[in-house]
Amino acid sequence: MRRWRYRSNRTVGGGILMKASTTFDFDGASVIVTGAARGVGLSIATRFATAGAQVFMVDFDREELEGAAADIDGVPVTADVSCTADVEAVVAQVLESCGRIDVLVNNAGILRDQVVWKLSDADWDAVLGVHLGGTFRFTRACTPSFRAQNRGRVINVTSYTGLRGNIGQSNYAAAKAGIIGFTKTTAKELARFGVTVNAISPNAETRMVASIPDARKAELAAAIPLGRFAHPDEMADAVAFLASDSAAYITGVVLPVDGGISI
Ligand SMILES: NC(=O)c1ccc[n+]([C@@H]2O[C@H](COP(=O)([O-])OP(=O)(O)OC[C@H]3O[C@@H](n4cnc5c(N)ncnc54)[C@H](O)[C@@H]3O)[C@@H](O)[C@H]2O)c1
């Protein structure tokens, strides 16, 4: 059985992250990353591609996706994670190309913020459909392969907001809380097939964070014990670890990669 090894030459100086070059060897692995056109998803896809994996980069923003995939030699797959037919077509394409799926990263996300009394059905459904629905649809579609291989890794992306709530984000909080329950349940269901299912809870400087008003963003940064938002590559470090053999005995866990905000 292929072993995915850990190599690290990360350098940390004076408490400041000088160089993040942690790598794992995913040579020949078949990896699906959703929401991979930018932000956290692009960092995750880049990390796997750099480590030798064939990375299927799923996003519904075709233009941004194609540029990103060309940069890292990934396979761009335009699809909407909230659409069952799209998800099943992606999985069929991956299996036709590689014959197996080693890692699934459910990362795609959107925001449609509004206080609950003004929140429309459309904005509720859209956010639940992408975050929770996409995570469900991809996990379900990959499960026959995981079971046949008797091996697999699923890493979902949740949020601190799913545990603590946030004004204007009842749809997002409900979706992210749902992902935690989904992660723990599928971890139990799939363990017997050699599959681990975990989640990360990020806090990274991406376009999603850039959409937060500056005053609120400054407040949020001040409340982070480590005093800053992370670079998205720091999320990729955690995902690569959870996908590696070093994490073979870890399942059903939500790993905060959030500078301590959730302490
Ligand atoms: N950035 C943070 O601090 C933070 C904090 C907590 C959780 N998260 C979560 O991390 C994930 C990535 O966040 P990000 O900050 O990189 O966001 P982002 O907006 O930069 O990227 C999200 C990507 O998902 C894609 N996407 C959205 N809907 C899609 C759909 N229906 N089908 C396919 N692709 C779709 C977008 O096109 C985009 O490329 C999200 O799930 C988000 O909720 C981020």
Does residue 104 fall inside a structural domain? Answer: yes
Helices (H), 119-169: 121-127, 134-149, 161-164
Measured distance CA(61)–CA(256) in Å, rounded? 28
- pLDDT tens-place string over residues 30-50: 999 999 999 999 999 999 999
List the alpha helices (DSSP H) in the chain.
39-50, 62-72, 84-98, 121-127, 134-149, 161-164, 170-190, 207-210, 214-222, 232-243
Model confidence band, residue 114 (pLDDT cutoffs 50, 70, 90): very high
Q: Does 27 have pLDDT greater than 80?
A: yes
Higher-scoring residue by pLDDT: 214, 116: 116
Q: What CATH number is attached to the domain comprising 217? A: 3.40.50.720
Q: Which residues contact 4 (CB under 8 A, 6 or more apart)?
A: 24, 25, 26, 29, 243, 244, 245
- Quick one: the chain helix, strand, coil %, rounded to 5? 50, 20, 30
Rounded to 5 degrees, what angle do the CA atoms 235, 236, 237 make? Answer: 90
CA-closest residue to ligand 1 atom 17: 208
Taken as a whole, the chain contains a residue count of 263
Tell whether 1 is covered by a domain. no
166: domain range? Answer: 21-256
**Residue 6 maps to a domain:** no
Residue 136 lies in a domain: yes
pLDDT tens sequence across 42-91: 999 999 999 999 999 999 999 999 999 999 999 999 999 999 999 999 99
pLDDT above 50: residue 11: no
Decide if pLDDT at 13 tops 80. no
Report how far residue 263's alpha carbon sits from residue 260's, in angstroms, rounded to the nearest whole number.
5
Rg (the chain; Cα; Å):
18
In this structure, the residue with its CA closest to atom 32 of ligand 1 is: 80
160 is catalytic: no
Report if residue 16 sits inside a domain. Answer: no
- In a domain? residue 7: no
Confidence of residue 6 (pLDDT cuts 50, 70, 90): very low
In a domain, residue 60? The reply is yes
Token pair for residue 128? 């639940």
Q: Is the pLDDT of residue 171 over 60?
A: yes
- Ligand 1 site, CB within 6 A: 34-35, 37-41, 58-61, 80-82, 107-110, 130-131, 157, 159, 202-204, 206-209
* 101 assigned to some structural domain: yes
What's the confidence (pLDDT) of residue 22? Answer: 53
Q: Whole-number mean pLDDT of the chain?
A: 91
User: How many angstroms separate the alpha carbon of residue 133 from the centre of ligand 1?
Assistant: 14
Q: How many domains does the chain have?
A: 1
Residue of the CA atom closest to atom 42 of ligand 1:
109
